[in-house]
Amino acid sequence: MADDRTVLDFYAQRWEQYGYDTRALGIGSRESQEIRFAILTQIADLRGASILDVGCGFGDLQSYLEGKGIAVRYSGLDLQPAFIEEARRRHPAGEFHCTDIERFEPAAHFDFVFVSGTFNVKFRDDQEAWVFRMLRKMFSMAERGVGVNLLSTYYDPDHYRADMFYCSPERAFTEAQAITRRVTLRHDYLPHDFTLYFYRKG
């Protein structure tokens, strides 16, 4: 698919340029990545849960959870083969799938599905509609909930970048409530970022 080729070429160039570095993933810094992980993983008590990390990159979320002593059954999903190869090298016992969420058909559901930073780089003219469509697909795979972070339109417009996707928190919350009535919005940790928790149960 043309969109897939654009994504693959973009991240292949960044991998060649940066190697194992958050910049290869289109993420500004390790610090901001870990702040996002901290917020995402506050969705619930994750101990013993099965999770799917969409756009997993190098499997850094698995590293973060291990560092916090939170044992989960982790699966990672990414379209870029170089990232999956590196993730498998760093996490030989991990389960990683080289595909995209639209094609992925797991054998069983996961307790939680997470996506961190994956939607931030703008690849499509219809990116907002595509993001909401992907969130519906993720929620269909989740037994307990979905956590996602997005760049916020509340950020200072002088710092907007044309190659990045910014989403209205109000718009995202409305779309989330069309998926489930049990939604939490967090906009209290980074000035340019917000997180949504989608719950299947209270």
**SS3 track for the chain:** CHHHHHHHHHHHHHHHHHCCCHHHHCCCCHHHHHHHHHHHHHHCCCCCCEEEEECCCCCHHHHHHHHCCCCCEEEEEECCHHHHHHHHHHCCCCEEEECCCCCCCCCCCEEEEEECCCCCECCCCCHHHHHHHHHHHHHHHEEEEEEEEEEECCCCHHHCCCCECEECHHHHHHHHHHHCCCEEEECCCCCCEEEEEEECCC
* Residue 160 binned pLDDT confidence (cut-offs 50, 70, 90): confident
Contact of 127 with 96, CB cutoff 8 Å: no
| Domain spans, the chain | 2-199
Residue 29 phi, psi dihedral angles, 5° rounding: -155, 160
The 10 Å Cβ neighbour count of residue 68 is 12
* Residue 109 binned pLDDT confidence (cut-offs 50, 70, 90): very high
Range in 12-26, 29-43, 142-156, 186-200 with the lowest mean pLDDT: 12-26
Percent of the chain residues past pLDDT 70, beyond the cut? 98
Percent of the chain residues past pLDDT 90, beyond the cut? 71
Give the class (CATH, top level) of 2-199: alpha beta
The residue whose two tokens read 């901290």 is 38
pLDDT digits (tens, 9 = 90+) for 8-40: 888 899 889 989 988 889 887 899 999 999 999
Contact of 22 with 143, CB cutoff 8 Å: no
How much is the pLDDT for 3?
65
How much is the pLDDT for 133?
95
How much is the pLDDT for 202?
61
Report whether pLDDT(2) > 50: no
Q: What value does the mean pLDDT of the chain take? A: 92
* Residue 155 binned pLDDT confidence (cut-offs 50, 70, 90): confident
Q: Which amino acid is at 93?
A: A
Distance CA 111, CA 83 (A): 24
How much is the pLDDT for 45?
97
The dihedral region occupied by 103, where left means phi > 0, alpha psi between -120 and 50, and beta the remainder, is: alpha
Mean pLDDT of 147-165: 86
Report whether pLDDT(1) > 60: no
